[in-house]
Chains A and B, each alone.
Chain A
Amino acid sequence: MSFLGKLLFKNKTQDIVSGNSDSGLIKGDELKRSVDGIFGRSLFVRLVDSGSCNACENELAALSNPYYDLERFGIKFVASPKHADVIIITGCLTRNMLNPLLKTFEFVPEPKFVITAGDCPETGGPFKDSYAVCGPVSKYLKVTMHIKGCPPEPEAIISGFLRFMDMLKTSKI
């Protein structure tokens, strides 16, 4: 079969093979069970970039490539905040993005959760001392969970989702 027409992965809940030889596998079944159990088969996520360097967005977009293909476990990035359960925020939160961010959050129906991804939203990252930055995000919104990294690698984001669902299960939120 030629390169363009090849089917890379066939099994729906196949485990995710890590790019780092040391961090092993992410169990597809486990992820699927969590999403099925807690979010009724679909965890809908809306992204807001509040002033990133774009590497964080690249990694979030990578979650849809065939290696990770998050949608097969029921985790989907949606177009409208009105469809979302979670908003995931990247970037250092610039002054110019504060209102769009708060507005987007407002439109997410209850119950809603905020996850921040990357060092920027947590601390402002390397941009924290700027006149144009008003972060961190936690000044304005209650952050349920943070995923570390600059940028967090796709596996770290997936583990983040798992951790988030564990927190819900044990109702630590």
Chain B
Amino acid sequence: MDKIMTSKHIIKSSDFIKLANNIKESGRYLLGIVANDERSINSKFNIRYFFGGKNIIDEYSIPVDENFQSVSKICPAAKMYEREINDLFGLTPLGHPDLRPLMLYPENWDFSVHPLRKDYDNLIPEFKKYGDYKYKEVSGEGIFEVLVGPVHAGIIEPGHFRFSLAGEPVLQLEIRHFWKHKGIEKICEGKDFNEALNLISRVSGDNNVNIAVSYLEAVENLLNVEVSERAKHIRVILAELERIWNYVRDIAWIFMDIGFALPAQNLFALQEELMRLNKSLTGHRFMFNALVPCGVSVDFDSSKLFMVDNIIKKVEKAIKECEAFILNSSTVLDRLEFTGKINKKTAEELSLCGISARASGLPRDSRVEFPYLIYEKFNLKPVLRESGDVFARTALRIKEILLSVKIVGGLLFNLPEGEIISLCENRVEAYKYAVGNAETPRGNAFFYIMADDGGKIFRLKYIDPSFRIWPSIQYGVLGNIIADFPLINKSLNLSYSGNDM
């Protein structure tokens, strides 16, 4: 873990623009942008740009008064972050191509109120219309629009999609998100690490274990504690079990969306068995609150270990059969191949992560790049595909399930003895901050946490992989027919909740 090099640079906004190109060319990619109101500490706002590479995290810190230079034109991945900062802090990214409000809707929010500023008085603007949100326009002969959502037809989360079409193929897709913006970062401020964990588990419920792993990486770094080997092993087992149930569900949905109900339902049944296993192991079907600061709240005895062993064997067999079924069925391949292609260049420009990056040939896997817990000892290599289509993302999930099964299988009967919770009475230094990384089933989960002078949270920023990946669908659907959109969407299976925060 200590092999990750972090280098910190403090730099002027105008100089950073000149540097941004070099950073990009060095192969580093944007992990996140974090704004922080530090006026009470050093009379400035601070905007921190984090770039990642193998075993490296570069941080560029820019002191800001009220505006800063946008880097979106050089680094398109920065676009959404800069819009977010414009909303929540009222700091303007100069030269940004699109400064429409992001999560604070003009339909109900007064844009002069920026809730993440420390001098925000907690007064909530009256619920009324303050302005309009302007959608992009596509015009021309024969062009028509299809509007979908925010409330969708199925059991899914809300989001608004606008397709512009000419005949069958999609010409443009515009997504409007943040319907579920809950203001979680603000609620975390002033909370202690335990209280905040309860909220963090509910950022994106189906990925909560892996998100908590990332959060606790940052917290335990701040507290300067090392959790016991046993706790680390248990965290990895639970995190990989979460990955397995997520991917089993994702593959089931892909079968469902191409009309293969029987394999889909059998996989949904397997997902149910995995969730029942979660419950037997941790008392909760999603394993909420199984992880705690400085350890884990659940221990494994031999009966639990055998339960896990049994089910992962079943998963392995089922998934191998799935793989053969897909590869040998031309009707399945016909739907999956060349559909929803996100090419490597797009993936690079948007700083994608997780399955979405690996399916387009980018070797990004936080377990490998920023090894945490005990991942280093597995000597993992990111599993890659080049084609960037639905098939690549499906095939990767299959490979990754098998990899997770192998990881879990190898740990089960080699659990080190010891306590599951370490003693931690350390106090955090005032205004110290740390970052955390973990690979969720969707990709990299990134935390930035700064403590205040009483050991509570001064600023917490969480970046969900979905936040990075959502814009890429707008490229993935181009030229596809609208009927394939649900399939493309499911192949990425992003979280709305984690994105909207």
A interface residues, Cβ below 8 angstroms from B: 2-6, 8, 19-20, 47-49, 51-62, 64-67, 77, 79-81, 91-92, 94-101, 104, 125-127, 129-134, 150-151, 153
Q: State whether A62 and B206 are in contact (beta carbons under 8 Å apart), knowing that A52-B180, A130-B184, A153-B285 are contacts in the complex.
A: no
Q: Which of B109, B204, B266 counts the most A-chain CB atoms under 10 A from its CB?
A: B266
B206 touches A127 (CB 8 A): no
Chain A minimum-CB-distance residue to B270: A3
CB distance from A107 to the nearest CB of B (A): 10
Task: Scan B177-194; emit 1 where CB is below 8 A from any A CB, else 0.
Answer: 011111110110000000
Q: Select which of B108, B202, B265 is within 8 A of A65 by beta carbon.
A: B265
Q: State whether A97 and B179 are in contact (beta carbons under 8 Å apart), knowing that A49-B158, A57-B155, A65-B271 are contacts in the complex.
A: yes
CB distance from A148 to the nearest CB of B (A): 14
Query: B496: CB under 8 A from chain A?
Result: yes
A125 / chain B contacts, CB cutoff of 8 Å: 202
Q: Select which of B154, B205, B263, B497 is within 8 A of A151 by beta carbon.
A: B205
B89 / chain A contacts, CB cutoff of 8 Å: none
Q: How far is the CA of A80 from the CA of B153 in the complex (A)?
A: 6
A52 touches B497 (CB 8 A): yes
Q: Select which of A2, A51, A64, A131 is within 8 A of B115 by beta carbon.
A: A131
Q: How far is the CA of A113 from the CA of B205 in the complex (A)?
A: 27
Query: B203: CB under 8 A from chain A?
Result: yes
Q: How far is the CA of A55 from the CA of B242 in the complex (A)?
A: 13
Q: Select which of B108, B122, B184, B262 is within 8 A of A98 by beta carbon.
A: B108
Q: State whether A5 and B262 are in contact (beta carbons under 8 Å apart), knowing that A96-B178, A126-B199 are contacts in the complex.
A: yes
B interface residues, Cβ below 8 angstroms from A: 103, 105, 107-109, 115, 122, 124, 127, 150-151, 153-158, 178-184, 186-187, 198-199, 202-206, 208, 249, 262-263, 265-266, 268-269, 271-272, 275-276, 279, 285-286, 288, 317-318, 321-322, 325, 495-498
B266 / chain A contacts, CB cutoff of 8 Å: 3-6, 8, 66
Q: How far is the CA of A133 from the CA of B249 in the complex (A)?
A: 30
Q: State whether A4 and B288 are in contact (beta carbons under 8 Å apart), knowing that A54-B495, A95-B105, A96-B108 are contacts in the complex.
A: no
Q: State whether A79 and B153 are in contact (beta carbons under 8 Å apart), knowing that A95-B108, A96-B179, A132-B181 are contacts in the complex.
A: yes
Q: How far is the CA of A34 from the CA of B141 in the complex (A)?
A: 54
B322 touches A4 (CB 8 A): yes
A97 touches B496 (CB 8 A): no
B271 / chain A contacts, CB cutoff of 8 Å: 62, 65
A96 touches B198 (CB 8 A): no
A129 / chain B contacts, CB cutoff of 8 Å: 187
Q: How far is the CA of A51 from the CA of B496 in the complex (A)?
A: 9
Chain B minimum-CB-distance residue to A20: B279
B127 touches A54 (CB 8 A): no
B286 touches A151 (CB 8 A): yes
A67 touches B203 (CB 8 A): no
A96 touches B181 (CB 8 A): yes
Q: How far is the CA of A53 from the CA of B276 in the complex (A)?
A: 20
Q: Select which of B178, B275, B288, B321 is within 8 A of A2 by beta carbon.
A: B321
Q: Can you pick out 10 interface pairs between chain A and chain B where the beta carbons lie within 8 Å of each other?
A: A4-B263, A47-B155, A51-B179, A51-B180, A51-B182, A55-B205, A67-B272, A126-B187, A130-B183, A130-B187
A5 / chain B contacts, CB cutoff of 8 Å: 262-263, 266
Q: How far is the CA of A64 from the CA of B204 in the complex (A)?
A: 21
Q: Select which of A3, A80, A96, A150 is within 8 A of B180 by beta carbon.
A: A96
B321 touches A54 (CB 8 A): no
A65 touches B158 (CB 8 A): no
CB distance from B454 to the nearest CB of A (A): 19
